[in-house]
Amino acid sequence: MDVGVVQGEPQYMDIDGDGHADAIVRVRQGAGNGFLDSRSVWLWDPGAEEAKQVLPALTLEARCDDMTTDIEAVGAGKLVVTRKMREGEACAVTPTKTAKFTMEIEDGFAWQTDPFVSALRCPASPGRELHFRGPDLGNHGLKPWPDESAPDMVTAEDVAAFDTNGETQGLPAGWTQQSFISKTNSADGESQCGYLG
């Protein structure tokens, strides 16, 4: 994997509401048409006197993807990401449709909470219909990142249907990625996912 190169100056703001400046850092991996751009949150820990990275990156974009245009803090641990959404425009053309996504950060992990709840790294699965439940969640919930210390993003009582979507690449042993439909949102045409370990 290529080493990422920081793009421009970090964007500073108090993201977690503790009175200290945190940072959003933009990193580019690769070059030419084969680049990946990401924006990661780094929260300042005044006790340790160091910044700690939130997982995963808030955005991950390749050439011809949707384009992030703005990120703003809207409350303790909440960010709104504004994107230009590509709808068939040529790569050289800036998309015109704008959409906003709310992200929540808790215990060093980020996930999307609006317009629907989902981990940030979901495979594209438009129109997927899940009419059954996968493995029993029991007392556990789906997490926003495959890490035991990550908080539950949704619990069994939030989920109408889910199933393992087959995505295992890069996951720790014992973890699966689940596609799901929440009880409050049918997610027509949208990918919702979480991790179960």
pLDDT tens digits, one per residue of 126-149: 545 565 555 567 667 899 999 999
At 135, is the secondary structure helix, strand, or coil?
coil
Lowest mean pLDDT, pick from 54-63, 145-154, 158-167: 158-167
Distance CA 15, CA 87 (A): 31
Is the predicted pLDDT of residue 161 greater than 90, yes or no?
A: no
- Tell me the mean pLDDT in the region 161-175: 78
DSSP assignment letter at 14: -
Across all residues in the chain, what is the average pLDDT?
Answer: 85
Tokens of 7: 């793009």
Predicted pLDDT of residue 7: 81
Predicted pLDDT of residue 157: 82
At 42, is the secondary structure helix, strand, or coil?
strand
| Residue 4: pLDDT band with limits 50, 70, 90 | low
Lowest mean pLDDT, pick from 46-60, 84-98, 175-189: 175-189
Predicted pLDDT of residue 163: 75
Question: Partners of 70 in the beta sheet?
Answer: 82
Predicted pLDDT of residue 166: 65
**Percent of the chain whose predicted confidence (pLDDT) is above 90:** 48
Predicted pLDDT of residue 156: 82
Angle (CA) 57-73-83 rounded to 5° is: 60
